Structure 1
Amino acid sequence: MPAKRTAMRKIRDILRLRLSAGLSIRAINASTKVSVGAIQKLLAQAKALELDWPLPAELDDSQLARLFYPEADTRVSSRYQVPDWASLHQELKRKGMTKQLLWEEYTRQYPNRCYSYSQFCDRYTHWRGLQKRSMRQSHRAGEKCFVDYCGQTVPIICADTGEFRSAQVFVAVLGASNYTYAEATWSQALPDWLGSHVRAFEYFGGTPAMVVPDNLKSGVSRACRYDPDLNPSYQQLAAHYQLAVVPARPYKPKDKAKAEVGVQVVERWILARLRHHSFFSLAELNQCIRTLLDELNLKPFKQLPGNRREAFAQLDQPALRPLPCHPYHYVAIKPVKVNIDYHVQYEQHHYSVPHQYVGETLELHASDTLIRLYFRGQQVAAHPRKHRPGTTTEAAHMPQRHRKHQQWTPGRLKNWAQDIGPEVLRWVDAQLQSRDHPEQAYRVCLGLLSLSRDYPTQRLDAACRIANRAGLVRLKQVSSILRSNRDRLPEQLSLVAELPQDHENIRGPKNFH
């Protein structure tokens, strides 16, 4: 059988092998190299047309073609119809598209002037090899988004001081359509990096299956050819949008050729045109970038039909996944170790966790309004975020003895002391007032009040009366009075007694010279 057999010859062979030889569809597929689906459709159509073998003698190739393909060009020509390779190349980017299917559509359109499948593939491969390097990459629609920063920055003038500050330019390019997004941020730090991703997805109106970044420190904690470590916040963004992050291999620019070319295009067609402009705010710069970005996406391709906007509408846009209901909000993630006081520190503020986690390393998630703490993937604590130094403690996180101590207040201590006796209240009140902070007297007051467990309240009140009169402020002094039973002795006279001033045994000043 000749290599350049026409589609009409194959139709006759398929009908002969089925109607005359009785071969199965799989056997016909192996013999003619026509897909199983195409054979099934052709045989079903032959059955509907009530064709039998041998075919009528007056049924030539043109008439046979009209029976099966009424709209096909059945004119016989010695010249082959060259396919539109650029359009076919764009079609191959669609999800599920194959060269076999495109060749079958091509043969149905030009049944007498078409290449065989092997010629079709060979000529397409040859055409693709003559194109630019970026065209040789195969990118499925909606599959990859390449992201990077431009090497060139844009100066922004501070209106108050006249100082210059450089703005970074973020670029995102969809693989199949080359649809491009760009914006300026103050830095390449993690909040700006992730925020640029969120705004790029909103500009595209959906999310791709994969994001291919460079090994930027904000996105990749540890670069590696085989197993790079992603930043936890970057992983959280990927989980929020249900996509995969596949960093390019270190020192392999071909892995992100789309981003390299996209950066080059943005620098040439946007930043170069803004080189003589002066900007006084980031918003002003981004407004100009957005205007020129729309022009860039409408600029016609040089070697492909259409432009980036049209290619996006045909290829990537239908294949992108829908955006979630709420955009991702940046959350800082860092490991923290629980101190012995069952608190962790974040930006000079301390937050409590259950005391059982003392000494463990937790994962802290800090949003604009909330602090969450996780242990092995389970949330163990949550606090409103504080933006000033201090301490936030939840009573449920404290040990029981600390919790009881935390519940004491000056008012509660005075009420307990008053229930015992007025002298006890006087002694406790003096302790609270003698300290710069009442909390410093809690322990000594609790120690005094706890003596009521071992001694009757009357004895404790009497001991405090003796201590108040003598100015005894130490707890051990009150305890000594009780242990020595001094509180049970009769009232003693004042140590300062009235002594007579005129007595024969008393010498006066005249006796001292």
Structure 2
Amino acid sequence: MKLTKMVVIREICRLLLTTELSFNEIARLLNTSSKRVSRIKKHLDNLSITWPEVEDFTDRVLFRKLYPKRKNRYVRREPNWLEIHELMRNKHQTLIQLWEEYRLIEPANAYSYSQFTCKYSDFLKTIDVTMRMVHYPGEVAFVDFAGLTIPYYQDESEKEAQVFIGISGCSNYTFAFACRDQSSESWIDAHNKMLTYFGGVHLVIVPDNLKAAVTRAGAFPLLNRVYLEWAQHNDTVIAPARVRHPQDKSKAEAAVLFVSRWITAPLRRRKFFSLEEINLAISELLPALNERKFKRLPGTRHSRFLEFDKPALKPLPAKPFEHVTWVAAQKVGPDYHVFVEGHAYSVPYETVGKYVEACFSVSTVQLFHDGARVAIHKRSYEQGGRTLDKSHMTKSHQAYMERHLSDFINWAQPIGEHALFAIEAQFEGKPHYSYAAAVACDKLKRLCSLHGPDRFEAACARATRLRSLTVKTINSILTRKLESMNVPEQLEMDYLPLHQNVRGSDYYAARGNV
């Protein structure tokens, strides 16, 4: 085996300093030239060092002592590379423009442009150092969307399915799922599917800075409200990667690469007609990816997940998080209702004049004031309709709304039998809680209060004989003071209502004689 350069140099030093072998003998033993041995001997003599001292030198130090750098006759002015690097972060900034500024100060001792770029490249290598991260079991999962999409055909048009990817930090166990788009609803749905696939919840989720996850990126990122509620529901923490720092989610970047190679690329050669077909195909290829053996680690992604991550995951919540959409805060009107998607929902009357926020899902509508939920309703899709919770009403309004047949019967019974008939007639063919019937009964109560119970009972008796127990008839009888008059027998037999527009048979008989 051929010895490396520094091993040969170090062995030459040892033989020169600890033995009395000749230059030729040392050269023959180490398969090198005697001239080389002679030069090293000369350098050692100039340094006046012993073998124990040489033995303590690193390869780099030993090389520099034996072969010192020649001093450059032309000393160049060194730029402030850190300042240049910070300026290069600015948009539209170019390196040649910074070099021209640097050169204008003292052209005589400035680097040429080629040297400038080479030195800057060397500087970048010193600051772009990557630290290998250690992820503990069940600690962190990384999520992202892959750049490569899967086409499918629906409604006679071609669409692109976005591929969501989640990876467990410790075991590299990978999940993939095709979504319709990168909206908040698709993002949350994919997360729910990922947790079900993993069978538990990681302590931390690390996403990228897409809008479905982060509303405002920066040193103190503002999380999307729905995403934050998802994290609270699943008892986990969202820690977004820093902007333009892909190393913060290197596991996700690697997972994107593997999924694109082993799943997305093969599926792009196939023809799909729905997202369900794509996800079925992904579910067939995903186990093969997770069962591929590691090159440098024992086992597979799946085996390491079962061994390390799975026992450390937190349990799933009883119900998966349901995606909600938030509506801007609105002021509660005097009718204590707010509109959500064109439908009015009630809130407690105490919130009148205050602002409430609303969020809705496919099945429910929730309303919040000062961060506390004040109402929850089953979602209605009736445009212009109203959903009312009676507990939100004032006591007087509740009393008004809770009027029904039994209340009016209890009022009418002390007055008399015919008053009871009149009340029952208003609810005939209607439910006992009928609003229209209750309004009619309220009018009857006002007539009774205005004309007295005796006249009211008598008017109801006359209306009963006339077979016209309506509010209008009873009011007409009381107004004209007809309650004490007898009803003609013929009128009773003809069942004619008391009405000014009914002329009777005599009118038509008289007209025939004309």
Q: How many matched pairs?
A: 370
Any idea what SS the aligned residue of 2:218 has?
coil
Match of 1:321 in 2: 313
The 3 A distance-change label for structure 1 pair 466 and 254 is: same
The alpha carbon displacement at 1:448 in A equals 3.6
The 3 A distance-change label for structure 1 pair 299 and 206 is: same
CA distance in 1, matches of 2:375, 2:162: 37
CA distance in 2, matches of 1:175, 1:489: 94
Contact persistence 2:143–2:252 (CA under 8 A):
yes
Match of 2:208 in 1: 214
Any idea what SS the aligned residue of 1:172 has?
strand
CA distance in 1, matches of 2:298, 2:195: 23
The 3 A distance-change label for structure 1 pair 419 and 180 is: same
How big is each residue's C-alpha offset from its partner over 1:266-291, in whole Å with a ceiling of 9 and x where there is no partner? Answer: 22221111222112343332232233
The alpha carbon displacement at 1:294 in A equals 2.6
CA distance in 2, matches of 1:460, 1:314: 84
Contact persistence 1:174–1:316 (CA under 8 A):
no
Contact persistence 1:369–1:385 (CA under 8 A):
yes
The 3 A distance-change label for structure 1 pair 377 and 456 is: same
Match of 1:358 in 2: 352
The alpha carbon displacement at 1:481 in A equals 6.3
CA distance in 1, matches of 2:487, 2:166: 94
The alpha carbon displacement at 1:258 in A equals 2.8
After TM superposition, list the pairs within 5 Å mapping 1:258-337 onto structure 2: 258-301=251-294, 304-306=296-298, 309=301, 312-313=304-305, 317=309, 320-324=312-316, 326-332=318-324, 334-335=326-327, 337=330
CA distance in 2, matches of 1:211, 1:134: 24
The alpha carbon displacement at 1:177 in A equals 3.9
CA distance in 2, matches of 1:340, 1:139: 59
Any idea what SS the aligned residue of 1:420 has?
coil
Any idea what SS the aligned residue of 2:271 has?
coil
Q: Aligned pair 1:255/2:248, yes or no?
A: yes
CA distance in 2, matches of 1:134, 1:385: 54
The alpha carbon displacement at 1:186 in A equals 2.4
CA distance in 2, matches of 1:366, 1:488: 58
CA distance in 2, matches of 1:176, 1:277: 33
Match of 1:140 in 2: 135
Q: Give the TM-score, by structure 2 length.
A: 0.56
Further displaced range: 379-388 or 351-360:
379-388
CA distance in 2, matches of 1:144, 1:287: 27
How big is each residue's C-alpha offset from its partner over 1:120-147, in whole Å with a ceiling of 9 and x where there is no partner? Answer: xxxxxxxxx99xx896342422432221
The alpha carbon displacement at 1:363 in A equals 4.9
Any idea what SS the aligned residue of 1:326 has?
coil
Q: Aligned pair 1:398/2:389, yes or no?
A: no
How big is each residue's C-alpha offset from its partner over 1:371-422, in whole Å with a ceiling of 9 and x where there is no partner? Answer: 5544445444444444555433232222122212212346754774575357
Q: Aligned pair 1:460/2:453, yes or no?
A: no
Contact persistence 1:370–1:382 (CA under 8 A):
yes
Higher RCO by CA contacts (8 Å cutoff, separation 6 or greater): 1
Match of 1:204 in 2: 198
The 3 A distance-change label for structure 1 pair 235 and 443 is: same
The 3 A distance-change label for structure 1 pair 135 and 327 is: farther
Out of 160, 166, 176, the residue aligned to residue 182 of structure 1 is 176
Contact persistence 1:223–1:250 (CA under 8 A):
no
The one-letter amino acid of 1:399's match is: T
Identity percentage of aligned residues: 33
The 3 A distance-change label for structure 1 pair 488 and 180 is: closer
CA distance in 2, matches of 1:305, 1:150: 25
CA distance in 2, matches of 1:314, 1:333: 36
Can you give the 5+ residue segments of structure 1 that lack an aligned partner in the other structure? Answer: 1-77, 79-128, 497-513
Any idea what SS the aligned residue of 1:136 has?
coil
The 3 A distance-change label for structure 1 pair 330 and 473 is: closer
CA distance in 1, matches of 2:231, 2:312: 15
CA distance in 2, matches of 1:255, 1:298: 26
CA distance in 2, matches of 1:371, 1:242: 23
How big is each residue's C-alpha offset from its partner over 1:57-82, in whole Å with a ceiling of 9 and x where there is no partner? Answer: xxxxxxxxxxxxxxxxxxxxx9xxxx
CA distance in 2, matches of 1:277, 1:491: 92
The one-letter amino acid of 1:258's match is: K
Contact persistence 1:237–1:328 (CA under 8 A):
no
The alpha carbon displacement at 1:180 in A equals 2.0
CA distance in 2, matches of 1:201, 1:295: 20
The one-letter amino acid of 2:185's match is: P
Match of 1:500 in 2: none
After TM superposition, list the pairs within 5 Å mapping 1:6-405 onto structure 2: 136-141=131-136, 142-158=138-154, 162-220=156-214, 222-301=215-294, 304-306=296-298, 309=301, 312-313=304-305, 317=309, 320-324=312-316, 326-332=318-324, 334-335=326-327, 337=330, 338-364=332-358, 366=360, 369-386=363-380, 388=382, 390-405=385-400
Any idea what SS the aligned residue of 2:175 has?
strand
Contact persistence 2:162–2:180 (CA under 8 A):
yes
CA distance in 1, matches of 2:487, 2:191: 86
Q: Give the TM-score, by structure 1 length.
A: 0.56
CA distance in 2, matches of 1:373, 1:393: 13
CA distance in 2, matches of 1:163, 1:307: 44
Any idea what SS the aligned residue of 1:197 has?
helix
Alignment RMSD, CA only?
Answer: 5.0
CA distance in 1, matches of 2:453, 2:157: 75
The one-letter amino acid of 1:394's match is: D
The 3 A distance-change label for structure 1 pair 375 and 312 is: farther
CA distance in 2, matches of 1:206, 1:459: 77
CA distance in 1, matches of 2:279, 2:177: 6
The one-letter amino acid of 1:334's match is: W
CA distance in 2, matches of 1:384, 1:490: 56
Contact persistence 1:180–1:262 (CA under 8 A):
yes
Further displaced range: 318-327 or 162-171:
318-327
